[in-house]
Chain A
């Protein structure tokens, strides 16, 4: 493995930031070589960050951005632990702020620095790394614009990446589900990711009309776009794995629909139009992605039809 890999991931100013604590061997372009299962932590140099726009944040705008920040803490930790074995705090991201700061519940036997997922398909690993980098950047961006506006971001709340998935799996008819169990290739990791990604899109979409300030709204639109790219990648990878994966995805969608709004989550196969097979885009009959309210999103991440704390946030989100 190439130990000089931070150089590989360093970006130009208009490119995405390096994930500075990663040590991953660069892939050749002609064939996808398998990446090493172990990622090294490197001592990070101080990172050049983009100047954050100075926004005027109303109380509403701040609460929306902080709500989003909670979700990004969840996603970023999930992907970071999956791909690097390190969470946000370990990656040098500031996770302090208002509310109660918490830690991440990991599977038994997790070792710091050992990725929780052993990837089968190098392409999936690449996508997971790319998404990890994006979600970390979203955390930093949301914190950055909140701080630049003279406000305080919420701290990372307690996050559960174990019992939550077991609960979600049970609701979908799968017992003892863990996205980090690599026994059936990348299927479990993709299903775990699938749970979050469309929710993120609908959460941002649903929040847009609540913003007071157009620039704050613009930030949310931009993040929504990226989350949609992510969701599509995960969904199409799952679709391509065939009927078993599609069946699991449908079961998860049905379970989510008992929590976060009937009909919004959709499986990967179009079952109503005989001329279409794939359903990569979960959308309405105008081919527009859906919205969810804050409450619907909380019901999902709490895994509670009544919105009671639990699920991925055992102590609730920070506000």
Chain B
């Protein structure tokens, strides 16, 4: 049975990855999960300099999901290179570094710093809804998406994944723009902007007022968007959004994703990623699938 997938020339032992921001750089979860069993670890967004993030409360639970407004707190690229990459190099898994910034120059600086690092891919976060500058500002206008993709590609030595926002009228427009800018792959979806109000205190549940919604409630939206984007572009897709188990992951692959990222589910179950790896294999055995790639976009009318 083959469970490996290929994205932009990089081979992953299986299609299961961690969604950026939910898994740190893997150190905390390595106490529960054998990182060697994952297709890739996608690290928390890192910027050119350390970011303190937003005030607390930064998270709130909602029915079937959660809101977060962490605000991309990160230690900056220097410490990340010194500490986090060497940590992950102890494991037999691929490393995808999520990159964030306030300006195009910030993104390019990080991408340039990563050029000589032993990482496999970069995921460019142009879809964070929780920061005032950068983030989603680059991800809601197709011209901006194409321009930043093109700029980042000038400095990138590793393949570039553009991470798209669902907070747009038509995500295929953004996907096409990223493709036109030279993206090697796409990640979708980032979180959906939401809000929760504590009716007892009559206050916003999050200090940031709004936050990105994730969790099982957003999964059908993510499946729909992955399907639409798979129809619209020729790029490989890493599908994410509310994947809680192997069934959800397989659904995403059938919709057109080459790989999947598991995020919020890690908070519910620390070992969910490897359970999904096992579950995909069980599904393949059950349905006589020899190669997981046969499942990519295999949904039919």
Task: Report if A and B associate in a common complex.
Answer: no
Residue positions of B touching A, CB distance < 8 A: none
